[in-house]
Amino acid sequence: MKTTIGNYLMIILFISAKAFSQNSEDESDKYTQLGAGSFENKDYSNAIIYFKKALGTAYDYKAYNNIGLAFYWSDNIDSAIFYSRKSSTLNKDYYSAWGNLYQCYYDKGDIKHFVECYGEALRLDHTKTIESSTDVSHDYDAMKEIVQNPTAKNSYELGDVYFNKEDYIKAKGLYEQTLKIDPNYGKALFQMGIINLQFTKAPNLDKALGYFKKASLAMKSDLDNVYENIGLCYEKKKDYTNAIANYKKALTFDPGDFGKSIFYKLGRTYEAMGDRKNANYYKSKS
C-alpha cells in the first residue's frame, strides 16, 4: 500500500533531516544523518534506533516524525501513527507529520482520521497536498462527505467502489461504518462475509458464517448466493451435513446458470463424505 505517495514520504524524511541538521545540536545531527543513511538503504530497524537517539532537543517533533516514517516503511502502521501523532502534538503546524498520518490512516482504511489529517495537511499547504496524489485527493472529497453526512447508503456505495478496486481494507472499513448506522443492511453483511471468507490473509470462517447468516435474515434477494456461501463455509469447516443442507437451500431460490456451481459443490461435498453415488449425480448436473 505504499505506491500512493511513497516517493513523497521519502522526500519528507530528507527535508526533515536537513532542517534538523541546521537547527539541532551536533550529537542529534549526527544521529539524524545516520538514521537518514540507514533509511535510504532500507535498513529501517537501524534508522529507528538512530532517530530515537536524535531525541532530546527543541526539534523532537522532527525526530518523532522521522521515527514514524521509518515504522511506516517497516509495515508497522500503528507505531508509525503513534510517533507521527507525537510529532503533530509537539508542533501542530508541522506539515510532514500530517502527511505521514493521513497516508497511514488512508492505508488502514480509517476514514474519520484520514479526513482529519488530510484536512490539516490541506490547511498547511493546499497545493503540495493536492499534488502529492490526485487519487488520494479525489478519495478525500468522497470520504469527507461520508464523515460529515454519514448514511448507510453512501457508506455502502463507497465501500463497493473500493471492493471493486480490490482495496478490501478500505471496503471493510466502509462496510463496518454502514453496519454501525444500520446493523441490518443486508448487502453490507454479505460483503463482510465475502471479505472474511476470501480476502483476508487466512479465511475467518466463523466470522464469515456469522455475517452470511445475518444477511440471510436481512436480504430479500440474491438469497441463492447467500446460502451458497453459507454452504461453502460449512464445507471448509468439514461440516458436510450443514454444507449440503445449505447448498440445497440455495437451489430453491432459482439461481439460474449459477446453479451449476452449486451442483458442483454438492458433488464435491458428497465426494468428501465418501458418497460416490450422489457425488456423481450432482457433478453430472454441473
- Judged by average pLDDT, the poorest of 98-102, 106-110, 118-122, 273-277 is 106-110
Residue 13's pLDDT band, with cuts at 50, 70 and 90, is low
Look at residue 19 and tell me whether its pLDDT is greater than 60: no
CB 175 within 8 A of CB 159: yes
Burial class (CB in 10 A: 0-12, 13-18, 19+), 222: middle
CA distance 226 to 192: 12
Displacement of CA 220 from its chain's centroid (Å):
29
Going by C-alpha positions, the residue among 9, 11, 8, 31 that lies closest to residue 20 is: 31
pLDDT tens-place string over residues 102-115: 999 998 888 889 99
pLDDT of residue 218: 97
Overall average pLDDT of the 152-166 stretch: 92
* pLDDT value at residue 8: 45
Find the helix or strand (DSSP H, E) in which 6 lies: helix 6-23
List pLDDT tens digits, range 240-253.
999 999 999 999 98
Give the other-Cβ count within 10 Å of 241's Cβ.
10
pTM greater than the 0.85 cutoff: no
Residues whose CB is less than 8 angstroms from the CB of residue 75 and which lie 6 or more positions away in sequence, other chains included? none
Cell of 61: 517533533
Which structural domains are found in the chain, ordered by start?
6-146 (1.25.40.10), 173-284 (1.25.40.10)
Of the pLDDT bands very low, low, confident and very high (cuts 50, 70, 90), residue 137 is: confident
